[in-house]
Amino acid sequence: MKISFNWLKEYIDLSGIDIQEVIDKVTLAGLEIEEVIDQSKMFENFVIGHVKEVKKHPNADKLHLCVVSDGVNDLKIVCGAPNVAENQKVVVAKIGAVIPENNFEISKAKIRGEESFGMLCSERELNISANHAGIFVLDNEIEAGTTAAEAIGLNDVIIEVAITPNRQDALSHIGFARDVAAIFNRPVKFPSLDINEIDEESSSLASVEILDPDLCPRYVGKVVKNVVIKESPEWLKTRLKCIGLRPINNVVDVTNFVMHEVGQPLHAFDLDYLSGSKVVVKKAGDDKSFTTLDSKKRELQANDLMICDGQKTVAIAGVMGGENSEVTVNTKNILIESAFFNPSSVRKTAKKLGLQTDASYRFERGTDPEITVWAAKRTAQLIQLTAGGEICKGEIDAYPVKFELKKVELRFERISKILGYDVPNEKVTEILTNLGFEIVSKNNESVTVAIPLRRHDVEREIDLIEELARIYGYEKIPDIERVKVTLEPKFDETAFENQVRETLNGLGFYEIITNSLLSETVSNRFGNSIGVLNPQNMDMSNLRTSLLPGMLTTISRNLKVKENNLQLFEIGKVFNKKNDVIKSFDDFSEDSMILGIITGRSIDTEWYSKDNNFDFYDLKGYVYEFLKSITDKEIEHSYKSESNQLFEYSVKLELDGEELGIIGKLNDELCGGYDIEHPVFAFNFNLEKLSSIPVEEKKFKELLKYPKVFRDLAFVIDNNITHNEVSETIKSGSSKLLHNIKLFDIFQSESLGEGKKSLAFQLEYFDETRTLTEDEVEKDFKNIIKNVEKKFNAKLRG
């Protein structure tokens, strides 16, 4: 909302107060000023000039060489306007001036060989009208050298105020003035309503009937006869233009003016088009559509509140009037509507229609039912002032159920209890009174006030405390330096995922965060996805069912910028539907997942390394290292490769028979869909499952006091026999003295024979209670060789 200071000053005396101080203080009190336009600053370097001489430009037919006095100096200015002439008073943009229309800064220029020290401006260039036919010529009485701001009355300060949804009462100049008045302890002045009414009663010319009093508790009508519709006078147009409104005609402009003056939205009907000269306020019912005054046909719902006449619908209540009864140049008699509509009803209708107007914006926030009569009178007064005519006596005031003022008690001790500082009792009553709260009773403990109906946001003691705090000033609350310590049990529900992050960082993985919203097709490919009713676009219409698409998109994007070697992970939620209709938290799952990938090379080609492509064994190494940080228990894997749409091959990791997650190589086709040609190895775990692995308390293990004995051996064996089969056989045929089996070499060569490989193991023997003898190790060792040779038809090498 825009507020003009020139306009504001009609309702509050701001003498002696700097505008900046007003801006700072209202901002602190909750009316946030987002932008300040100081017109006089906008017109710095613009002065009124006297055109002394006009000659033709020697090198251009349409240009003139002018000499213009700025009151002190004569300036040479090249001007292209057809209407420039000697002895005119014009607006000169001097060097350094910035043209409001296009932010162009004037500098010394040479135009077709002739120097120019400024520019003569059109009205459009000054942003004061659309006129660009020629330069703006002013009254000759104005002296050269006068600032342009002063000469054309552009000395206003306009502010853009962000009004929070609770403060509809501040959505007007008088409303804004009320807060300023309370802050500076000055009164608000209402304009006088001294009007001449004719004897003819408004109620004899029109009638109002409310069929849905819940949705329209009050409807005030007033009639003005014999008006002449024409352009508004300058003062009215200036007011509206200052706050960014386009003047239309005197009657419409007056209704807009009064709305921005006092906050009451108004509508003017052409009374002669109201059949039966009556207004009926009722729900749309069977009416299916209506054409609003912007000539658009609107679809209606049965519960939308409408304004009707004896036969037809004439307006959507609180939203927009109709084409069939709008004020036109031929309008003679006017019915002014000044009503209070149910906020949530207006909001529902406006939302459904996708039509937010200045009126609906105010009605849905709750207007002031008490101001309706005043606003109707004020509108009539200004219509008469600008359009002539006769004001009919009195108002038609349909007010079926009267609102009662709410009374709220404020206990003084609660102020310091909530705010932590005391507001003196006199200050309390002063602030509340200045805000328009009437003191009903008062004693040493408390004060009871009546809340004006415009303050829908104030209904409890705490709301009054807020009013005090914001007007008295938050800055008066002391910066305390001590806070209480409370000793309830402490917890950190992010501790586990942070531990996971740190372990993976230590292993060289970078964390990524991707969008949780994906397209329906993509999301459904990985699960049973949940759609959003109102997505921004179809690429972000469904919640992700997997972290994989985000990861693949990330890999793909990195490959495009030649970042080919990636070690990444993401921790995030995935969402899956369990039932088609979501009525409770049981109908869907929301799981915390961790997905990691490696792709490209572990080390790029460097002076010390050639080819180091990541492979499955890198992945497995990382994953086992990672899992070691979570549990000491042994992780089993299924040893049975699975191939599916996601993985070319993969194995499931288990702990005590419970599946923890999966590791493997992603399907080439899947990756290909993201233009990824390198192999990608991935692990995917459910974070909640990992965090629920019981952590066994660490117990110190006595260090081994006796020497270890190592034995190496290598077998030549069939290619298809796995490392695991051999090591299991070694283990099963060995004594309890064997503690570790390490595969330290694996190779194939022609010399070993077709389909053969060599596996070399190092065996680690020890006993915690004594030194081993050569003989017992040798015996065990021989046993192992025999077993393996026999089982796999293997040969001991060397």
| Residues 483 to 502 in contact with another protein, rule: CB under 8 A | 483-486, 488, 490-495, 498, 501-502
Site for another protein contains 540 (CB under 8 A) = yes
Per CB under 8 A, which region of 86-94, 515-523, 674-682, 685-693 contacts another protein?
515-523
Per CB under 8 A, which region of 201-209, 235-243, 533-541, 767-775 contacts another protein?
533-541
Please state the closest distance from residue 437 (CB atom) to another protein, in A.
Answer: 16
- Residue 286 or 479 having the CB closest to another protein: 479
Restricting to residues 583-602, name those near another protein by CB under 8 A: 583, 585, 588, 590, 602
* Three-state secondary-structure class, residue 37: strand
- Residue 370 or 497 having the CB closest to another protein: 497
Restricting to residues 377-416, name those near another protein by CB under 8 A: 416
Please state the closest distance from residue 337 (CB atom) to another protein, in A.
Answer: 22
Restricting to residues 161-180, name those near another protein by CB under 8 A: 164-167
Site for another protein contains 354 (CB under 8 A) = no
Site for another protein contains 29 (CB under 8 A) = yes
Site for another protein contains 743 (CB under 8 A) = no
- Residue 247 or 366 having the CB closest to another protein: 366
Instruction: Give the span between the Cα atoms of 582 and 533, in whole angstroms.
Output: 13
β-strand pairing of 197-201 with 390-393: parallel
Per CB under 8 A, which region of 106-114, 158-166, 233-241, 402-410 contacts another protein?
158-166
Q: How many of the chain's residues bind another protein (CB under 8 A)?
A: 96
* Three-state secondary-structure class, residue 19: helix
Site for another protein contains 21 (CB under 8 A) = no
* Three-state secondary-structure class, residue 273: helix
Please state the closest distance from residue 565 (CB atom) to another protein, in A.
Answer: 8
Contact with another protein (CB under 8 A) among 42, 530, 552, 651: 530
Contact map string, positions 412 to 441, toward another protein, x by CB under 8 A: ----xxxxxx--------------------
- Residue 427 or 723 having the CB closest to another protein: 427
Contact with another protein (CB under 8 A) among 192, 194, 402, 478: 478
List Cβ<8 Å contacts ≥24 apart for 581-588.
582/530, 588/530
Instruction: Give the span between the Cα atoms of 441 and 722, in whole angstroms.
Output: 92
Site for another protein contains 197 (CB under 8 A) = no
Contacts of 443 (CB under 8 A, 6+ apart): none
Task: Name the packing angle between helices 234-242 and 250-262 (round to 10°).
Answer: 50
Are 92 and 75 in contact by the 8 Å Cβ rule? The answer is yes
Angle (CA) 246-250-253 rounded to 5° is 40
Sign of CA dihedral 171, 174, 177, 178: negative
CA of residue 262 relative to chain centroid, distance: 30
Site for another protein contains 544 (CB under 8 A) = no
Contact with another protein (CB under 8 A) among 269, 412, 437, 575: 575
Instruction: Give the span between the Cα atoms of 269 and 252, in whole angstroms.
Output: 10
Instruction: Give the span between the Cα atoms of 48 and 120, in whole angstroms.
Output: 10
- Token pair, residue 516, equals 């949780």
Restricting to residues 602-641, name those near another protein by CB under 8 A: 602-604, 606-609
- Token pair, residue 269, equals 């009907």
Angle (CA) 603-662-514 rounded to 5° is 70
Instruction: Give the span between the Cα atoms of 644 and 647, in whole angstroms.
Output: 5
Contact with another protein (CB under 8 A) among 13, 20, 21, 32: 32
- Token pair, residue 452, equals 């004006």
Whose structure tokens read 């009663």? 201
Per CB under 8 A, which region of 28-36, 89-97, 447-455, 638-646 contacts another protein?
28-36
Please state the closest distance from residue 215 (CB atom) to another protein, in A.
Answer: 13
Restricting to residues 641-700, name those near another protein by CB under 8 A: none
Site for another protein contains 302 (CB under 8 A) = no
Contacts of 610 (CB under 8 A, 6+ apart): none
